[in-house]
Copies of this chain bind each other. A is one copy, B any other.
Amino acid sequence: MTKKLLTIDFEPLGRRARVALGTTLLEAARQAGVGLSAICGGAGTCGDCRVRVVAGEVSSPTEAEAEATSAGFRLACQTHVLGDVRVDVPPESISALQRVQIEGRERPVELDPAVRGFDVTLEPASLGDLRADAARLKDALSQQYDVPVGRFDPAVLRRAPSLLRQDGWRARIAIKGQDAVAILPTDASLLGLAVDIGTTKLAAYLVDLESGETLASTGAMNPQIAYGEDVMARITYAMETAERAGELQRVLIEGLNALIGSLCAQTGCDSATVVEAVLVGNTCMHHLALGLPVPSLGLAPYVPVLSDAYDLKARDLGLDLAPGADAHFLPNIAGFVGADHVAMVLATDIYRADQITIGLDIGTNTEIVLAARDRLLSCSCASGPAFEGAHIRDGMRAAPGAIERVRLTDDRVEYQTIDGAPPVGICGSGILDGVAEMLRIGVLRASGAIVAGSHPRVRGSGRTAEFLLVPAGERSAPRDVAITRKDINEIQLAKAAIRAGIEVLLKEAELEAEQVERVVVAGAFGTYMDVDSAVAIGMFPPLPRGRFVQVGNAAGMGAKMALVSRRCRKVAAEIARRVAYVELTTHRRFVDFYTAALQLPEEHGAMGCSLSQNDA
């Protein structure tokens, strides 16, 4: 006889779990794919997992809950289900965004896609009307819509005869400018693809070009990772032989085609109805995707081969879209500030900010933009892959079991893992939290040294010191997870690069940090991370929390905007033209700023980097 399962509904998300009697609401939420925050791991101490039980029978509140919750709320980790239950989940209890960071803040854009569909009905061919199919289509588009077609893609010509004759001389023609790029049955939707090619991650969105709706989105690792984890490693690899450069392009296109396949499978759409793609990426990814040589990106003066926006046939790249579809690449700004940055500046509206605004897209390379008094300045910092969990001894990517949040008390360690899985390592936001917390409770010195004996979890001393986050066995951890002195050093290098970039831009604009009114943080890590921790270690200037906005994958959002709006493409070109690129490596103050920023702030709220103030 099977155990009777209870039905737990999570509103307003519309998610459902079927669980056994006595299961906690937290566990049920995990089964339902509802990402409840629970940094204490379900101990009832953090108070993050507040929910409201709307209907159904549950266990009585515990004493811990009484302290942690206000009227009507329960802690999901402490509440056991006794029957079918309906639960209301308040937004603040949702654990950030999905872990494959593909979503971002959508901004409504007026629909004005480059490719538009026109349904035409033709006169059938006859002995009295011997016009070629192409001429017939051209005449119909001109007569029925006043749309002049200058050119039919070969793919349209190849498909037209059978489609027209099967479909009663009717068809939907996808037109871009004066080019007919696809011919489809009259009931077909016109779809578009937006792609953000990150050094580490790929994100792809399938969009209905006629409604602007995102039908599906998905993400994956960039398969080029196998050839080097950062841009310089890829350039070095690609420079060795033309075959190797071709290999980097090939695996990338394969990865993108896998995403296209997945998006089509999710939605039941046919990739032959995807009539345009917009791609963004940093300049190196942009070049590798286009099959452009990258050696010039690896050597001073680091000039790109191509900076303007660029269209080419998706088939020339091997992308599995409609055979006549274009791939549109947004413009690059410089060798290390690419189209993804342009897309971010577009999506976040920084380009027309009234307030003094800093925008950051934190990744293996971090691009920073400063908007102030009609100027747009940008730079690129080699922040390295530490925030992706690389170069960290127990580091890992943001995957189930990764420690993503850490809080320390004088004798205890609280942490949260992705999906609540047994802890197996630590990801970017976890290490950031860990360093910030170690600093806060006095385990770390400004130099990054671990103070021996400062906490029960400190092991060893000097260069071999480490801080044990999870002893093997705790919450089924397969092994110890710790933060080492060397890990802290990696974080110092990364945060110093970012902070020095910010300071150089402020210096160029003759601004003080405190004048910055808004800091827009984009990217996967930038969205999951705790801004307070970033401020605590001096990665960001010590501004009030309210000035920071975390916007998710703004580059991907910008790509989507450019997909559905020709005006946004114009704005992107304008952004690329307006942004003044500041080369850090040759900047007279960069080394000073960087050196200062390597230190950790001595007290919470202070700055590791204090030069910008002394220097005014």
Contact = CB atoms under 8 A, between A and B. Distances in A.
Interface of A: 125-127, 129-135, 151-152, 154, 157-158, 160-162, 165, 290-293, 295-296, 300-308, 311-312, 315-316, 332, 334-335, 581, 583, 586
Contacts of A158: 291-293
A497 B519 CA distance: 82
Interface centre among A127, A132, A154, A302 (most CB of B within 10 A): A132
B312 A135 contact: no
A301 B126 contact: yes
A303 B133 contact: yes
B303 A334 contact: no
A161 B130 contact: no
Nearest to A297: B161
A161 B291 contact: no
A295 B161 contact: yes
Contact of A161 (B125, B135, B293, B332): B293
A86 to B, nearest CB: 54
A301 B134 CA distance: 15
A292 B130 contact: no
Contact of A134 (B165, B302, B306, B312): B306
A292 B157 contact: yes
A134 B303 contact: no
A534 to B, nearest CB: 31
A291 B158 CA distance: 7
Given A132-B332, A312-B154, A161 B127 contact: no
Contacts of A157: 290, 292, 305-306
A306 B301 CA distance: 49
Given A154-B292, A157-B305, 9 more contacts: A126-B301, A129-B301, A130-B335, A132-B303, A132-B305, A132-B306, A134-B306, A158-B291, A161-B305
B303 A130 contact: yes
Contacts of A581: 130
A564 to B, nearest CB: 23
Given A125-B296, A300-B127, A316-B154, A133 B291 contact: no
B301 A130 contact: yes
Contacts of A132: 303-308, 332
Contacts of A293: 158, 161-162
A155 to B, nearest CB: 9
How many protomers of this protein does the assembly include?
2
A217 to B, nearest CB: 28
Give 9 closest A-B pairs by Cβ, nearest first: A132-B307, A125-B303, A132-B304, A127-B301, A134-B306, A161-B293, A133-B305, A161-B296, A130-B303
A304 B126 contact: no
Given A135-B307, A304-B133, A586 B292 contact: no
Contacts of A292: 154, 157-158, 161
Contact of A127 (B160, B290, B586): B586
B154 A290 contact: yes
Contacts of A316: 154, 315
Contacts of A134: 305-308
B291 A154 contact: yes
B130 A160 contact: no
A157 B295 CA distance: 13
A292 B307 CA distance: 36
Contacts of A162: 293, 295
A246 to B, nearest CB: 10
Contacts of A133: 296, 303-306
Contacts of A152: 306
A583 B295 CA distance: 61
A453 to B, nearest CB: 50
A131 B161 contact: no
Given A125-B296, A296-B161, A303 B154 contact: no
Contacts of A586: 127
A157 B293 CA distance: 8
A332 B134 CA distance: 12
Nearest to A126: B301
27 contacts: A125-B303, A127-B300, A129-B301, A130-B302, A130-B334, A130-B335, A130-B581, A131-B303, A132-B306, A132-B308, A133-B296, A133-B306, A134-B305, A134-B308, A154-B292, A154-B312, A154-B316, A157-B290, A157-B292, A157-B305, A157-B306, A158-B293, A161-B292, A161-B293, A161-B296, A162-B293, A162-B295
B290 A160 contact: no
A305 B163 CA distance: 12
A581 B131 CA distance: 11
A286 to B, nearest CB: 11
Contacts of A296: 125, 133, 161, 165
Interface centre among A125, A290, A295, A305 (most CB of B within 10 A): A305
A521 B293 CA distance: 53
A302 B128 CA distance: 11
A319 B133 CA distance: 25
A436 to B, nearest CB: 37
A300 B125 CA distance: 9
Nearest to A128: B301
Contacts of A125: 296, 301, 303
A174 to B, nearest CB: 18
A317 to B, nearest CB: 9
A332 B293 CA distance: 41
Nearest to A332: B132
A296 B292 CA distance: 41
Contacts of A165: 296
A301 B132 CA distance: 11
